[in-house]
Every structure is written in C-alpha cells, then in structure tokens.
Structure 1
Amino acid sequence: MKIDENVCWGIIGCGDVTELKSGPAFQKVEDSSLVAVMRRNEEKVKDFAERHHVKKWTTNASEIINDKSINAIYIATPPSTHLQYALQVLKANKNVYLEKPMVLNSIEAKILSDALKQSRSKLTIAHYRRVLPVFLTVKELLESNVIGHVSLAEITIHQSKSANLIAKIADNWRTNPTISGGGYFHDIGPHQIDLMVHYFGEVDTIIAVDLEKNTVSNDVVKGFVQFKNGIQFKGNWDFNAEEDKDNCTIYGMKGTISFSFYGDEIIIFLKGKQERYQFKNPMHVQQPMIEKTVGYFLGKNVNPCSIHEAAVVTQIMDVFCGIN
C-alpha cells in the first residue's frame, strides 16, 4: 500500500475506545491501513497489536509520530494530552483524527487552531455521531421541513449511579477534571452539543443556567444557546439523578422529532399521529466517520468535522460550565 495514495495510520492511545468503536475500522475502510499502535503499558499495547493484527507497536508516541511509513495519526488518549500530541503530529506534517473532546478548553482550541493554520496537515474531530443512521435521518427530516419551522431543541440527560451510558473503568479518568476537562459532561456532552451545532448552524448567544448548582466535576450542567437563525437550544445534564433519561426533542410549527442519543429510533409527532423509525448502528460505530475522514485526507470529500466546528462546541461547554 503506497503511502502517497492511501492513509496509513498510527494510533496513539489504543485503549477502550479503540477496541471496537474505532480501531478495527482503520483496517476495514477502503484506502486505509493501520500500521502501528502506541500505549504506555507495554503488555497491553503488545496484546492489542497481536489481537488486531497490527505489525508495529510501541510505548513511545514519538516513534509513531516520526514513523515514515505513517501519514495520519489517530489520537485517542485522554483529553489532557490531546493538544500536546496534536501539535507534535502537525509539526511532523501528518494528518490528525482527534478524539473528542477536542481539547480541554477554548484556550487550547485557539492554540491548536493557530497551529493548524501554519501547517500543511489536515485535521478532523471524531464527532462520529454526525454520520450514524439515526442522526443523519434527523438532519434529513429537518432539511425536508417535515415538522415545519423549528423553534426549539431540548436535550435532557439524566444519569443515575447505576446507568451505563458511560464506560466504567478501574482508573476512571473521566471524573478527574485535570485529565478530562471536567466530569462525565465532558465525556458525552461534546457529541450532543456538536449535533445541535451541526443541525442549526452559527451560534449567536450562549448562557449558563443555574451555574451555582454545578461542581468542579460538572455533575449538573444547564445551558441555553440562541442560534443566528433564531432557533433556541436548552440543555440539561444531571449525573446524580434518581432516574435515567436520555432524550432530545426538536419542536417545529407542525410537530416534533424525538430521539435518544444512545437508542435506535426516532419518534415523529405530526398532526396527532406518531411515527417511528428504527435503525441499526454499524459494529464499529466510528467506521462511517473514519471513511469520511480518509476521503477528506485523500481529497475526495470535505472535512466531516472541522476544528472550527469543534471549537464552537468547546466554547459552549466552557460557558455552560462557567469557565468563561
């Protein structure tokens, strides 16, 4: 496989997310191959490489970044090292597929954006839900004006201690703000907010709500966004709730569209009638996004999620959490 005609990947941080969601897809997508993987734990990275049939493995990220047989790198480490590794990869003139949240905050987002402008490389953010069947269909329904002029979108995510929306791991870095940027909100919130920005466009106003109820780990987050087209968005996340809830409802003049971020259906209420759409996600949920990313890196299609779009998501999260 010629490196100038194909995307030859290295992975920095082959942890849980790369086992099924993303890792295998790099070998299944056309014009794509997985050349090498990195993790600091030698036993675990060697095991990953053997099970996933990857020829090269290392515990040193620099070896991945400087490997001449690699022209693109997937950064799948915890968020606290995203900026560090992304800057190194850009300096090496290689393309980047970067896990969400893109960086810890808007300050880091500006640093990365400036570095990308000075680079010849391309960068895509892994907001993969954009191209999953459920969320593609929601966008198509909105664009076809099925529920009429949209006025409001509401997200409610309530998670009890027993909920399984987020992977439970022994070393739970997701609740350590210095590593994750906050708490569980910083782990799942980016996907949900990104979809709102993807659906409704440029943002006009961002307001935090009930900020006094928030904590350093962002257990309770509420916020409001006014888009330039007049559509409003209200978000409510509670990770200490008594009952679990996972819902987004979009209100139009003719009816509503409701869906779950972790479910498999869309419910449309229109003229007093209910209609349901059922979906099935691919085995490797990031594969459609990786296909689009490979296409972008090879000049076949536009960027499926740019740094500018992800920076807007970061800004919204910062305001919602009282960072700025």
Structure 2
Amino acid sequence: MKNNVHWGIIGCGDVAEVKSGPAFQKAKNSYLLAVMRRNEEKVKDFAQRHHVSNWTTNALDIINSKNINAVYIATPPSTHLEYALKALEAGKNVYLEKPMVLNYDEANTLLEATKKGNNKLTVAHYRRCLPVFIAVKELLESNVIGAVSTAEITINQTKDASLIAKTDENWRTNPAISGGGYFHDIAPHQIDLMVHYFGEVATINRVDIEQNVNIHDVVKGTLKFKNGVSFKGCWNFDALENKDNCTIKGEKGSISFSFYKDEIILSIDKKEKKYQFKSTKHVQQPMIEKTVAYFLEKNENPCSVNQAATVTKIMDVFCGINKNDQHV
C-alpha cells in the first residue's frame, strides 16, 4: 500500500458516474476497492457497472477499512466536514469534492485538522488541471496581453438550463445541504481559477442586488488581488438567456474563454486568435492523477485546504454570510 493508492468512494452519485469515478481505476498506481451510497440498490448497481468488488451503505465501512488508504468524498456538501474529519482521524488521505465545506468556519475547522496529523487532503478543484485552463495560465505567464488590469466573470443561466446537474431531490437548491443555491455548485471552480491565476487576495466585497431578487438566484461580488488585478463577477440563475464567459484584460489585449466550451479567444490589436481544446471524458482524471502522485509523495498538493479556504471565504462574502471588505 505504500506504493499504491487504494481508494474507497463515499457518495457514488452523478459526479462519480463519469467525471471522477472511472479515473480512480485509470490513474497509475491507483485502485478503487469499494464504494458507498446510502441507497443499497443504487450502490450495488454502481459497483457492478464499474467493476468494483466491494460496496456498502455505511460510510464508516470505507473509513475504517484496513485495505483502503485514501477516501474520495463525493456526498453533498453538508456531510463533507464530518466525513473528512473522520477519514483523517482514521489515518486516511482524502480527496474532497467541491464546494469543500458549507462555509468559512467549517473550512477553518478542516484546516486545523490537517495541521494536526500527517495525512494529506486535496480539494477537487480539477479545472486547474484541464488543458484549456492550463493554456490560459500559460498565456498570462507569457505576458502576451501585458500587465493584467481586470478580470470579469459573467454566468447567466435560465431556469431550464442544463449547465448544472439536476437530481431527484435537487439538493443543490437547499442551503442546509449545499450551502446556498446553484452558485455554490459551480462558482467554486470559477473563483478558484481566478485565485489560481492571480494569487493572494487583498479585499473581498459583495455587490448588493435588488431587494426583490432571491439571494440564491443572483450573486455579485468584487475582488482586489495583491498584485493589483481587479475582479468582478455576476452569477444569475434566473436569466432570460444563457451566457458563460470570463474576460481577462491587459495593457496589450484580452483573453476570453468559456468554462464549458474548451475554447480561448486571444485578442491583440483588434486581431483574434482562437485556441480549441479536446474535451476529456473523465474530467477529473488529470487532477486525480496529480492527487495520487501527491499522496505517494511524488509531487506537491494540486489544491490544498488552505487554497480552497480562500475560495470559501470569497463565496461567503459574495453571498452576504460575512461582512464586506474582508481581508484575506
């Protein structure tokens, strides 16, 4: 087990079906030994279809198994902290789905827990490892658009949009389970990329919205990074039409991209250049491969609790959970 990672999955729902689950069997030195879901019929079906030898309806069977040294937690966010703390206490390494926890208080609790032991925890901000977003970072680092001044995210989604997975219970719209609304489901990836690109955050501010608007339907906020980059974002899940865009502006031009279309548009001197990328079937596989290597002490943590805690704090302020002008 010292040379391999033997996984157990807690929560084999829609995310684990294609995005992540199969990658635990495809990554080098990685083996999926057991899966857990509370619904016996569904977990048994998952195990049979994905050729996993062991299944259970009790998360503690995964956490306490002597044959498992790493746990992937893919339950709804309301149980992330509980299961992560128990897994770390049991001596397991952890790969934790986003949003990492429900709020910044829970993020601090988890951060303190990781400091107490020798076990590792990686947060599944997997877009960092996808070709299109790696390319954006490389373009920024090449200084092709010069010194960056601003970055802006606009996400508009109609009520019937398919951007977010819908479940029978639709727990993503229940703040007690998800932490908020649809914003909490997709914004962690987008905000994480901004932090990944621009580094430490100086200040966070919430932008007030109209009083008659549901706070979970529309979220707005701004950031000031320590390197001088200004960011503003708007997420509207009750829009009249769909839009998905991030535009980063510099002194020489701009970089625009979608979070879901694998395309970058580089604009310099009124000339555009498009970059196209091929979608990855199991989108978490590159991140899982880096996580396995990190667990085996072959590379650094691809996304730490500390980094994800910054994202959590930003989300809290944007949603009005914490006060404006928060210094990170």
Shorter-chain TM-score tier? over 0.9
Matched residue of 1:34: which SS? Answer: strand
CA distance in 1, matches of 2:138, 2:117: 34
Equivalent position to 2:23, from 22, 25, 32: 25
Residue 143 (structure 2) aligns with = 145
Structure 1 residue 217, shift from structure 2 partner: 5.5
Distance 1:146 1:213, change over 3 A: farther
Question: Would the aligned equivalents of 2:215 and 2:319 in 1 still touch at CA under 8 Å?
Answer: no
Give, as a single letter, the amino acid of the residue that structure 1 aligns with 2:111.
S
Equivalent position to 1:69, from 61, 67, 70: 67
User: Can you list the C-alpha shifts for 1:135-178, whole angstroms capped at 9, x where unaligned?
Assistant: 00000000000100000000000000121110122210000000
User: Can you list the C-alpha shifts for 1:206-228, whole angstroms capped at 9, x where unaligned?
Assistant: 00001455866611000000000
CA distance in 1, matches of 2:281, 2:239: 30
CA distance in 2, matches of 1:209, 1:201: 22
Paired residues in the alignment total 322
CA distance in 2, matches of 1:268, 1:180: 35
Residue 104 (structure 1) aligns with = 102
Give, as a single letter, the amino acid of the residue that structure 2 aligns with 1:156.
T
Distance 1:13 1:55, change over 3 A: same
Give, as a single letter, the amino acid of the residue that structure 1 aligns with 2:231.
F
Question: Would the aligned equivalents of 2:156 and 2:238 in 1 still touch at CA under 8 Å?
Answer: yes
**Which runs of 5 or more structure 2 residues have no equivalent in the other structure?**
323-328
Equivalent position to 1:282, from 280, 283, 289: 280
Residue 181 (structure 1) aligns with = 179
User: Can you list the C-alpha shifts for 1:24-66, whole angstroms capped at 9, x where unaligned?
Assistant: 0000000000000000000000000000000000000000000
Matched residue of 1:109: which SS? Answer: helix
Residue 199 (structure 1) aligns with = 197
Question: Would the aligned equivalents of 1:151 and 1:230 in 2 still touch at CA under 8 Å?
Answer: yes
Distance 1:207 1:217, change over 3 A: closer
**Which runs of 5 or more structure 1 residues have no equivalent in the other structure?**
none
Distance 1:65 1:207, change over 3 A: same
Equivalent position to 1:246, from 240, 244, 268: 244
User: Can you list the C-alpha shifts for 1:240-263, whole angstroms capped at 9, x where unaligned?
Assistant: 000100000000000000000011
Question: Would the aligned equivalents of 2:148 and 2:249 in 1 still touch at CA under 8 Å?
Answer: yes
CA distance in 1, matches of 2:168, 2:49: 22
Question: Would the aligned equivalents of 2:85 and 2:110 in 1 still touch at CA under 8 Å?
Answer: yes
Question: Would the aligned equivalents of 1:211 and 1:321 in 2 still touch at CA under 8 Å?
Answer: no
Question: Would the aligned equivalents of 1:37 and 1:57 in 2 still touch at CA under 8 Å?
Answer: yes
Residue 35 (structure 2) aligns with = 37
User: Can you list the C-alpha shifts for 1:252-282, whole angstroms capped at 9, x where unaligned?
Assistant: 0000000000112100110110000000121
Distance 1:195 1:213, change over 3 A: farther
Give, as a single letter, the amino acid of the residue that structure 2 aligns with 1:59.
T
Give, as a single letter, the amino acid of the residue that structure 2 aligns with 1:117.
K
Residue 315 (structure 1) aligns with = 313
* 1:220 matched to 2:218: yes
Equivalent position to 2:111, from 106, 110, 113: 113
CA distance in 1, matches of 2:76, 2:288: 19
Matched residue of 1:249: which SS? Answer: strand
Distance 1:60 1:216, change over 3 A: farther
| TM-score normalised according to structure 2 size | 0.97
Question: Would the aligned equivalents of 1:154 and 1:234 in 2 still touch at CA under 8 Å?
Answer: yes
Residue 305 (structure 1) aligns with = 303
Runs of 4+ in structure 1 off by over 6 angstroms are none
Distance 1:168 1:68, change over 3 A: same
* 1:165 matched to 2:163: yes
Matched residue of 2:239: which SS? Answer: coil
CA distance in 2, matches of 1:77, 1:217: 24
Matched residue of 1:266: which SS? Answer: strand
Question: Would the aligned equivalents of 1:175 and 1:217 in 2 still touch at CA under 8 Å?
Answer: no
RMSD of aligned Cα (Å): 1.0
Matched residue of 2:85: which SS? Answer: helix
Give, as a single letter, the amino acid of the residue that structure 1 aligns with 2:161.
A
